[in-house]
Amino acid sequence: MNEVRPFTEQTVLVTGGSRGIGSAIAERFASVGMNVVIHYLQSHEKANETARSCMRHGANVLTVSADLRSREQVMRMRDKLESRGMMPDILVNNAGIAHYGLLSDVTEEEWDDVMQVNLKGTFLVTQQFMQPMIRQKYGRIINVSSVWGISGASCEVLYSTAKGGVNAFTKALAKELAPSGVTVNAVAPGAVDTEMMSGFDEQDRAAIADGIPAGRFGQPNEIASLVYFLALPESGYITGQIISPNGGWVT
């Protein structure tokens, strides 16, 4: 193994890091003083708000905007990080969009958009940033998926399909990169109290929570803690796993 920086001096890139689970993940790594790169698409102010929270921990923080559906923009993001000396040792593919509705009503444009953000974006970002990890014989790739990528959900066929693809991508790439000392895992949360749940009214939210054995939604910081654990050097024997923190909702 080539010499790798101590864990607290490493760099993490969190895609979709401006809000919700992504923001919580960025701040969790910042809490130990790591270098943190916060990716966003359009939420400039939210990204800056997360960056300020991270800097209060003493972390070195960089925000970067890119459309992950575009290879050219992903490559420009890589070049910017390389020029700043902030190539990630840890990549968290968190960016994603959801879709709720009957499959019979899904348009081709909606299908393409959900697949490109959730699946193609994960592919493009991983492809650009895994090579330095391979060269240094060390790295962590953590994909944020969904419980519906494991079990599927009625009226979420499109989203379930995209996240199921992320899970398959995770398992296959883990085998490919294991000889290089790079682990690849996925965290597949259940219902988490973020803006993604804002489309449900209070009655629907109560009904969902009632169906969860834990009796509540997950919190972003709980998901962030699991992501952080998978990134630790001592988690190096965990790879190819899809771990679902969902309060016992799906087992």
DSSP 116: I
146, pLDDT greater than 70: yes
The mean per-residue pLDDT over the stretch 143-164 comes to 96
Q: Assign residue 155 a region: left if phi > 0, alpha if psi is -120 to 50, beta otherwise?
A: left
**pLDDT(22) > 70:** yes
Q: At residue 250, does pLDDT exceed 70? A: yes
In terms of C-beta density within 10 A (0-12 exposed, 13-18 middle, 19 or more buried), how is residue 109 classed? exposed
The confidence score (pLDDT) of residue 204 equals 86
Q: Give the active site residues.
A: 159
Any residues with CB less than 8 A from the CB of 183 and at least 6 apart, and which? Answer: 139, 140, 141, 174, 177, 230, 235, 236, 238, 239
Return the pLDDT at 1.
44
What is the pLDDT averaged over residues 145-156?
A: 95
Residue 84 buriedness (CB in 10 A; 0-12 / 13-18 / 19+): middle
Does residue 203 carry a pLDDT above 60? yes
Judged by DSSP in three states, 149 sits in helix
pLDDT at residue 3, as a whole number: 64
| pLDDT above 60: residue 2 | no
User: Per the structure block, which two tokens stand in for 35?
Assistant: 């270098």
Helices (H), 137-180: 148-151, 157-177
Residue 60 binned pLDDT confidence (cut-offs 50, 70, 90): very high
Give this prediction's pTM: 0.95
* pLDDT average, residue stretch 64-77: 98
Q: How much is the mean pLDDT over the chain?
A: 95
